[in-house]
Amino acid sequence: MKKITIILLGFIALLAVSCDKDDHLAPDKSKYVYDIPQTDLPVDAIVGAYYTNITSSSSWLKSGKKIYAGTPLLGEYLSTTSGVLQQQLAWADEAALDFLIVTWDAASADNTLITNFKSVRTATNAKVRLVINYNTKHLKVSNDKPLQEEENLNKMINDFTNTLVPLFNDEAYYKMNGRPVILITPSNLSSSALKSIDYSLVIPALKKAVSELGYDLYTIGEFTTGWVAPVNYEEHQIASFDGVTVNDWSTNMYDRYYAFFSFVDLNWANWKTTISKWNTDFVPCIFPSYNDRINSTSSYKYTFGQDGETADYINFCNVAKRNIGSKNIVLVNSWNNYQKGTNLEPTEENKSEFLEITRNQFKK
């Protein structure tokens, strides 16, 4: 009994000592949950926005029901509708965008949009330019037949030499200090296709082929999923590119709901620091707003910036400026993806406020 009493007293004493320590208490909340201050850049940022090529009414309606957020001033349009691109380029100039990003996957609709863009830009004397997001999907690569194999690599190089390099020659294409800017997607290969592309072999070969035609590419690798730390990717998925961007920071996790902007800020600081060892630039990508719940009724992702509310977009702009890379590039996702409610383009709800915020936040 005496031994039991001594052991019990010893345990109580140990417990008392441990309670005096804060080693296992909750972390300091202020390190993770904080307000984003207004941040000013010493020079103008280079700003681009993702453009959705709307080719069908199915982008607006499903079984006769609306599947998009907001009320676009242009109505339920197609990108080829007369007058649409003319108004969009005028609005893009109002926002002081440097370029719109158009996905190219060797589809005829991609080429039609590019042709129309160049024509309308010339006719209206618009300033905004074009950048291609090259999607490797049409190359149909696999682990067994990866992109770095000669046949597939030649297909990619031919896409550039036959179609894209002639586009670089056009004044409508955006070039940074003479270097055509090009996005290449996806950098985050699916788990079933991890060996389908070795970018450490593909990008140097592509750059060499294009340099022989007179252009030094500035390549941005596009990661389509956020909230994954860069250490979880293979080095070639990041280090092969001049810059990388992560274009989707939507979330359905409560802790990220609660401190969305400070959590993104912490993630981006980690990305920027980690990839700097490879001399790869971090290119922040922001949402003006987010609401996919009309298109996907089962979604419970964090929504913001609805009904014309602008404070969250200003917060996101400042997170981007706090983590902007050395090339001073920021991307906006998106210009007109109404299914996800991420449109910078004016609506009945926000009028032109998102355009004004973009100009005021990123241009002197």
- Among positive and negative, which fits the CA dihedral 348, 131, 294, 306? negative
Q: How far apart are CA 36 and CA 316, in angstroms?
A: 9
* Whether 131 contacts 101, CB under 8 Å: yes
* Contact in structure between 331 and 50 (CB atoms under 8 Å): yes
Structure tokens at 257: 């709901």
- According to DSSP, the residues that pair with 173 across neighbouring strands are 130
Q: Which residue has the tokens 């280079």?
A: 46
CA distance 145 to 190: 15
Beta carbons within 10 angstroms of residue 211's beta carbon: 11
Which pLDDT score, from 0 to 100, does residue 103 have?
98
Residue with the two structure tokens 């109404």:
338
What is the Cα–Cα distance from 294 to 229, expressed in whole angstroms? 30
28 DSSP 8-state letter: -
CA-to-CA distance for 174 and 177, rounded, in angstroms? 10
| pLDDT of amino acid 15 | 40
pLDDT at 7: 40
Q: How do the residues of the chain divide into helix, strand and coil, expressed in percent and rounded to 5?
A: 40, 15, 45
The secondary element (H helix, E strand) that includes residue 46 is strand 46-51
The closest of 326, 324, 327, 317 to 359, measured between CA atoms, is: 317
Phi-psi region of 35 (alpha: psi -120 to 50; beta: other; left: phi over 0): beta
DSSP designation for 270: H
Round to the nearest angstrom and report the end-to-end CA distance of the chain: 80
Cα–Cα distance, 119 to 121 (Å, whole number)? 5
Q: Splitting the chain (364 residues) into consecutive groups of 10 residues, what average pLDDT does each group show?
A: 41 42 62 96 99 98 97 98 98 99 98 98 99 99 98 99 98 99 98 98 99 99 98 98 99 94 98 98 99 97 93 99 99 99 97 98 96
Domains identified in the chain and CATH numbers: 46-362 (3.20.20.80)
Helix axes 353-362, 84-94, angle to 10 degrees: 40
Please name the helix (run of DSSP H) or strand (run of DSSP E) that holds residue 243, with its range, or none.
strand 243-246
**345 residue type, one letter:** E
3-state SS class at 212: coil
Question: CA neighbours within 13 Å on the CB side: how many for 274?
Answer: 16
- DSSP H helices, 44-186, are 84-94, 108-124, 150-159, 165-168
Return d(Cα 121, Cα 286) in angstroms, integer: 25
CA distance 74 to 18: 65
Whole-structure pTM value = 0.93
